[in-house]
């Protein structure tokens, strides 16, 4: 879809709306009843697992990781090797960026239908409901996906800190994928060898207070197109919610200097559904703002993906076709955030009785 074809209509900057002291919410942000935060059950007392990376791959902690991947698709990591000072500095500079005057932030504009720069991502029509969130999204690795003109020069030190932060998170992603492979009985290097020069992007989300938080979404429910996603959230409030297997929404309570990790669609496909990507969303608060820094880590665009043979048997027939990751990535970023709908791109729905346990060849679309 060419950017020139996309008409997104009036898209207000939610921080500017908040600054006006409004007591109502513009219609484009008001969700329909079932799509409101209180429209589904929220199980506030549950907690997603916490994994001590320093204890991996010892048996007990590896078992905890396996259970976290099977039962939740989400977990928090502590003792992850990234200096707390670097985490604090990245959070501080991200917040300082969002506090800049609107005119300064708009020097790094996200084009309609685009996915890099400052603004609203995943907006493709004039009547689409909007999220109560401002974003700064940037391609990090490989160098070919970077758009240097969109990397802020203010606040001072932002670029250098993001570089250092992204390098550390990239190392962590490789470590986590090696341990996740071990939980599946695979060689630790399985995913790293397969992914080539992995694609890495970062998105910073800022959720200002909203006068009617019960009517809006901070970020629509979705799964991630990545292999793994690493999220740093501030300590203000539990805005991130994960859909449990029972269907309830579970808040991810902030743990100081922990990072939140979730499995993306790529791992669901590679494991033939043994591990699943999980829907998550962000809700907003009437009094407090919230900030998150999110890193997406995925295979190189030229990598072919499909279920690994180890996970395709007569009992668990192949559920996903083979496809090029760049093809899926283009599909993902040109689709609205709408649950796990984007993964339908890869699913096979053969008639009953026609499962033969084989991995299909590449299918063109």
Q: pLDDT: is 126 or 86 the higher one?
A: 86
Average pLDDT over residues 151-175: 97
In this structure, are residues 237 and 290 in contact, taking their beta carbons and an 8 Å threshold? yes
12 belongs to a structural domain: no
Find the range with the poorest average confidence among 26-30, 45-49, 123-127.
123-127
**pLDDT for the residue 65:** 97
Q: What percent of the chain has pLDDT over 90?
A: 65
Element holding 241 (H helix, E strand): strand 240-243
Decide if pLDDT at 37 tops 90: no
Start-to-end CA distance of the chain, whole Å, equals: 16
Q: Of 103, 83, 87, give the one whose Cα is nearest residue 95.
A: 87
- 1 in a structural domain: no
Residue 363 lies inside a defined structural domain of this protein: no
| Token pair belonging to 277 | 């990507």
> What distance in Å separates the CA atoms of residue 295 and residue 136, rounded to the nearest whole number?
12
Average pLDDT over residues 126-131: 78
Q: How confident is the model at residue 195 (pLDDT cuts 50, 70, 90)?
A: very high
Q: Classify residue 16: in a domain, yes or no.
A: no
In this predicted structure, which of 12-21, 35-44, 104-113, 135-144 has the lowest mean pLDDT? 35-44
Of 148, 141, 182, 159, nearest to 51 (Cα)? 182
**Pairwise CA distance, residues 129 & 220, whole Å:** 9
Domain membership flag for residue 70: yes
The tens digit of pLDDT for each residue in 273-321 reads 999 999 999 999 999 999 999 999 999 999 999 999 999 999 999 999 9
On whether residue 257 sits in a domain, the answer given is yes
pLDDT in tens, 333-353: 666 566 677 788 788 874 343
Q: What is the pLDDT of residue 3?
A: 42
Instruction: Kindly state whether residue 20 falls inside one of the protein's structural domains.
Output: no
**Where does the pLDDT of residue 6 fall: very low under 50, low under 70, confident under 90, or very high at 90 and above?**
low
Average pLDDT of the residues in 53-70: 93
| pTM of the complete model | 0.90
Cβ contact 266:308 at 8 Å:
no
pLDDT, tens only, 234-275: 988 889 999 998 888 999 999 999 999 999 999 999 999 999
Phi first, then psi: give them for residue 332, nearest 5 degrees: -65, -50
Residue 232 phi/psi, 5-degree rounding, is -105, 125
62: domain range?
A: 27-345
- Beta-bridge partner residues of 61: none
304 domain residue, yes or no = yes
Number of domains in the chain: 1
CATH number of the domain that residue 272 is part of: 2.60.120.330
Q: Say how far apart CA 196 and CA 28 lie, in whole Å.
A: 41
Task: Classify burial at 42, counting beta carbons within 10 Å of its beta carbon; exposed 0-12, middle 13-18, buried 19 or more.
Answer: middle
Report the mean per-residue pLDDT for the chain: 87
What angle, rounded to 10 degrees, do the helices at 158-183 and 84-98 form? 130
Q: Are 294 and 203 in contact (CB under 8 A)?
A: yes
pLDDT of 4 higher than 60? no
Beta-strand ranges (E) seen in 277-329 are 280-282, 290-298, 304-305, 323-324
> Is residue 363's pLDDT more than 90?
no
């Amino acid at each position: 879809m060419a950017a020139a074809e996309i008409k997104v209509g009036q898209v207000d900057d939610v921080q500017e709306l908040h600054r006006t002291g409004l007591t109502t919410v513009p219609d484009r942000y008001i969700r329909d009843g079932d799509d409101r935060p209180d429209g589904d059950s929220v199980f506030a007392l549950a907690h997603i697992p916490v994994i001590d990376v320093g204890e991996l791959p010892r048996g007990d902690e590896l078992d905890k990781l396996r259970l976290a991947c099977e039962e939740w698709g989400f977990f928090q990591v502590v003792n992850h090797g990234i200096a707390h000072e670097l985490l604090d500095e990245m959070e501080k500079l991200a917040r300082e960026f969002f506090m800049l005057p609107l005119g300064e932030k708009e020097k790094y504009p996200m084009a309609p239908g685009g996915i890099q720069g400052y603004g609203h991502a995943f907006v493709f029509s004039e009547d689409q409901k909007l999220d109560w969130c401002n974003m700064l999204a940037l391609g990090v690795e490989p160098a070919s996906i970077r758009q240097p003109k969109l990397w802020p020069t203010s606040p001072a030190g932002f670029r250098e800190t993001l570089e250092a932060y992204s390098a550390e998170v990239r190392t962590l992603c490789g470590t986590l994928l090696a341990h996740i492979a071990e939980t599946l009985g695979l060689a630790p290097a399985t995913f790293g060898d397969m992914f080539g020069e992995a694609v890495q992007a970062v998105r910073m989300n800022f959720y200002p207070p909203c006068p009617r938080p019960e009517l809006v979404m901070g970020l629509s429910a979705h799964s991630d197109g990545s292999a793994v996603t690493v999220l740093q959230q501030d300590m203000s409030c539990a805005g991130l919610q994960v859909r449990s297997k029972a269907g309830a929404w579970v808040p991810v309570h902030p743990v100081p200097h922990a990072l939140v990790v979730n499995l993306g669609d790529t791992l669901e496909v590679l494991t033939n559904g043994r591990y699943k990507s999980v829907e998550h969303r962000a809700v907003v608060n009437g009094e407090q703002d919230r900030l998150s820094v999110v890193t997406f880590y995925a295979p190189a665009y030229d990598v072919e993906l499909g279920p690994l043979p180890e996970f395709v048997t007569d009992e668990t027939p192949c559920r996903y076709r083979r496809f090029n990751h760049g093809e899926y990535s283009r599909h993902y970023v040109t689709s609205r955030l709408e649950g796990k709908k984007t993964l339908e791109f890869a699913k096979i729905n053969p008639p009953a009785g026609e499962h033969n346990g084989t991995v299909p060849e590449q299918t063109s679309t």
